[in-house]
Structures are given as structure tokens and as C-alpha cells.
Amino acid sequence: MSILVTGGTGGLGFHILSNLSGTSHGLYSFSDEQPQPWQKVDGVEYLTGDMLNFKDVLEMMQKVEPTHIYHLASQSSVGLSYKKPYETLNINLLGTQTLLEAARQVVPKAKIMLLSSSEIYGRTEQHLTYLHKETDLPNPLTPYATSKACMEILGNQFRNANDMHIVAVRPFHFTGPHHSRRFAIPSITYQLVKIKYYHAEPVVYSGSLDISRDVVDVRDVARAMIQILNTAPSGQVYNICSGKSYTFRELVDMLVEIADVSVDFRFDPAYERTNDIPLLIGDPTKVNEIGWKPMISIEDSLTDLFNEMVVRRRTELKLGMGKDLPL
């Protein structure tokens, strides 16, 4: 078995590869850059190339000949998608086109998973406790959500036209160790690490903390994705969620308690997202039916995120990266 993870240097890719490390499978990551030390998983061959360059992707596919493909490579920031809508659509849609066409030519029987997003559901006119089901029609509000909805349609086209095995997953909000600081909760965690250990001003900057999200640990998401790709019939779509929500304020209060610091919070419009959805909760019934449930509590997830961020920061400084603060 040969397993390919595009975007394997990201937090989710790290945990998928970590779950599979130590097996007899060939493990490969394909990204546009080599991993940092904290992104590496033993036993993985890290390949680099341009997801939009068909020659790069085709040559990689011919080298790896994957039996299983987790397609994670994307522009994954909702906020950035407003600033760079063309780049977002390019990477998320045309990058997927490139991958699927290369797979069609080289490994047409491979099992392929497309990473979509709960953001495609958009706002609902239903009651605020409404749980989004996989059968709900997409109602995207952002360029990012639109790109993911289009990606799912593209996957269906390749599946229908070429009899390829393609499934999609729609994770709701996830966090935990190795999550990128480009996202809200890891960004706040990083600020708390600097306050606790590097004498930074005891002020945390953020956008609105009143939005609510269905939150799952990234390691649980990785475990669900592996189980789904191994067992789900082609054409299926799965939410990955808990059915419960937390406000960002609740999550940040937990982080402050974990860090054991006193801080002030200041609103920074740079962190605010246009058309942000106030509440997004998923219905986990379908994924529960295949035997998956979250195993890691949110408190443990945030504790592990904070501790990993401490180690990550120390590693960065030892490598001379971001010398804005002393060791």
C-alpha cells in the first residue's frame, strides 16, 4: 500500500501521517515546501512541487503510484480568501483538477479523499441549535467556502465520468497540537506562550470571541479521515464533528487557565472575518454510524496545543527563526 498526503506538512497532514507511521505502507507527502523540524514524521518521504503544475503532479504520481490519496493541499484561510479570491479558487479548484487528472492517468483505481469544509453550509434560517446534515444544500458565503463547494462538484464529475473512487469530508472547526498559527485559536495560544515565557505585553489581540463552533481535536479528525477512506463507498460525504458547540470565548478562557497568566483582551479588526457565521454545528450521525466518535476532550486538546506551541517556539528560536524574543 502506498499512501499520498498532499499538503502533508500542515497540521492535519502531520497527524494523518503520524497515525500511519510505523506501518508497512509507503508514506509520501507532496507540498510546495519542505517541512520544518516540528512538521516531520518518521518514515515519510517529503516531495515538493507545484500543485498547479501538471508536470510536477504527474511525475510525483508516477513515482509514488499511490493506492490511497488524502488531498489536503489548499488555501485554507477564510479571511485570506477575501484578500486573494483568485488564488483561493486557483489552488483549491484547479489544484484539485490537476491532482484528479494525474490520478486518472496513473492510478485510476486509487481511493481518493477530498478535504472539503463545514463552511460550505453557510448561514441557516433554522433555529440556532440546527445541526447541519450532509444532505443540506451548500450555501457558501465566502470565496473559501465557494472553492470547497466547487471542489466537491469537480470530484463528483471525475467519479461519474471515470468510475474513480472519491469521497469527501467536511470537518467542522478543529484545533490541537501542530495546528498552524494562521488560525484563531493557535494564534491566541502563541500570544499566551509569548506572554508566559518571553515577557511579552500581557495583551491578547483577537477578532470577535462570540462566534460558536463545533470543535473537535485535529487528531480525532485525522483518525476519522483514515477510517472513512478505508471503508466508505465511493461518492459518500461525511461531516466530522461532535454535535456540540463552544464559543471562542469559552475556548480562550480555557487557554488562559492552562497558561496560568493574567491578560487583557483587545479587539483587532485585522482578525475579524467578513460574513462570519455566528454558529456552525454539525450532525455527527453518519460518521458515528461507522464507529467513529471524538476521543480527545477539548480541554486536553487545548492543553496539548499550548504545550506543543511552547516546544515549537523554542525550536524556532534555536534555529534562528523569528528572533523577536529572547530564549
pLDDT in tens, 131-142: 999 999 999 999
* pLDDT score of 325: 43
On the question of pLDDT at 308 being above 80, the answer is yes
pTM for the whole thing?
A: 0.94
**146-155, 172-181, 274-283: least confidently modelled range:** 274-283
Using one digit for the tens of pLDDT, what is the confidence trace for 200-254?
Answer: 999 999 988 888 999 999 999 999 999 999 999 999 999 999 999 999 999 999 9
Could you give the count of Cα atoms lying within 13 Å of 97 in the half-sphere of its Cβ?
Answer: 11
* Nearest alpha carbon to residue 148 among 121, 181, 185: 121
CA 58 to chain centre: 24
Q: Give the rounded percent of residues in the chain with a pLDDT score beyond 90.
A: 84
Cα-Cα-Cα-Cα dihedral sign, residues 299, 304, 310, 316 = negative
Domain locations in the chain as residue ranges: 2-174+215-240, 181-213+244-318
Mean pLDDT of the region 43-48? 97
Which architecture does CATH list for 181-213+244-318? Alpha-Beta Complex (3.90)
- pLDDT exceeds 80 at position 128: no
Sheet holding 26-31, edge to edge: 44-48, 26-31, 2-6, 68-71, 111-115, 165-171, 237-240
pLDDT of residue 9: 95
In order of 53, 117, 260, 296, 314, the CA distances from 256 in angstroms are 44, 28, 6, 19, 20
Give the three cell numbers for residue 37: 523540524
What architecture is the 2-174+215-240 domain classified under in CATH? 3-Layer(aba) Sandwich (3.40)
Q: Which residue has the higher pLDDT, 321 or 90?
A: 90
Whole-angstrom distance, CA of residue 279 vs CA of residue 130: 9
Quick: pLDDT tens for 95-107.
999 999 999 999 9
Instruction: Please spell the DSSP secondary structure of 55-103, one letter per residue.
Output: HHHHHHHHHH--SEEEE--S---HHHHHH-HHHHHIIIIIHHHHHHHHH
CA distance 107 to 111: 9
Q: Nearest-CA neighbor of 140 among 153, 154, 122?
A: 122
- How confident is the model over 151-187, as pLDDT tens digits? 999 999 999 999 999 999 999 999 999 999 989 999 9
Query: What's the mean per-residue pLDDT of the chain?
Result: 93
What's the Cα-to-Cα distance from 210 to each of 154, 271, 276, 305, rounded to whole Å?
A: 35, 13, 11, 21
Burial class (CB in 10 A: 0-12, 13-18, 19+), 265: middle
Burial class (CB in 10 A: 0-12, 13-18, 19+), 63: middle
| Least-confidence region, from 18-32, 173-187, 216-230, 268-282 | 268-282
Question: How far, in Å, are 34, 91, 149, 168, 222 from residue 75 at the CA level?
Answer: 17, 6, 14, 17, 19
Higher-pLDDT residue of 194 and 24 is 194
Q: What is the total residue count of the chain?
A: 327
Show the cell assigned to 207: 477578532
Residue pair 99/50 in contact (Cβ under 8 Å)? The answer is no
